[in-house]
Amino acid sequence: IAENTLVVYSTDHGHFLGQHGLIAKGAFHYEDMLRIPMLARYPGVIPAGVRSETLQCQVDWPVTFLSAAGIPVPGLMQGVDQLAVWGGDERGARDHVLVENRHNPTTVHLRTLVTERFKITVYRDAAYGELFDLERDPEELHNGWDDPAYAEVKGELLLHFVQAEIQREPTRMPRIAGA
């Protein structure tokens, strides 16, 4: 079993330890909350010591597990097969990640599109948001949402965001005759 089993170890989210004035977890999509470590072992497929900084998401795990097991992936699954990336392919399997927080009516509702360089966050029922250039501002201290220097980037990211949301198909439930 030890020589032919894919083992993945990770967590569901990061934790704030004073960054941005926050303690514990929260609804805010700063890198400290989103970028989480993940370890994977799969003898003969994932070489020891492989590291990747490519964009990945936990929704990719079920698709990747099915792929590793040689099981066809149902067409409606939202994830992307990351097995090649875990095996050392540095190209990455996706160009963005979508993140959302909408647990209940009393919390902040927000959605975020993360690309290799930028992150844009939109809040429900709000005319403001957040836009961070992760290359120039890795600590996310300068919000470029209203910065004229980022106006064109903001428009491109919002369009990318809308397209990503449109492509994200909800899981269709089976129809019951007569219902």
Residue extents of the structural domains in the chain? 1-94, 95-169
Phi-psi region of 145 (alpha: psi -120 to 50; beta: other; left: phi over 0): alpha
β partners of residue 114: 97, 119
Query: pTM for this one?
Result: 0.82
What are the b/e assignments for 4-27, b being 16+ CB within 10 Å? eebebeeeeebebeebeebeeebe
Q: How far apart are CA 171 and CA 90, in angstroms?
A: 30
Q: How far apart are CA 63 and CA 72, in angstroms?
A: 9
Contacts of 172 (CB under 8 A, 6+ apart): 76
Per-residue pLDDT band for 71 (boundaries 50, 70, 90) equals very high
**Averaged over 113-122, what is the pLDDT?**
96
Residue 76's pLDDT is what?
Answer: 77
Q: Provide the CATH topology of domain 95-169.
A: Arylsulfatase, C-terminal domain (3.30.1120)
Per-residue pLDDT for 141 more than 60? yes
H/E stretch holding 110 reads strand 110-114
The tens digit of pLDDT for each residue in 12-33 reads 666 555 565 556 666 777 677 7
Residue 17's pLDDT is what?
Answer: 54
Per-residue pLDDT for 109 more than 90? no
Alpha helices in the chain (DSSP H): 31-34, 60-68, 83-86, 151-167
Per-residue pLDDT for 168 more than 80? no
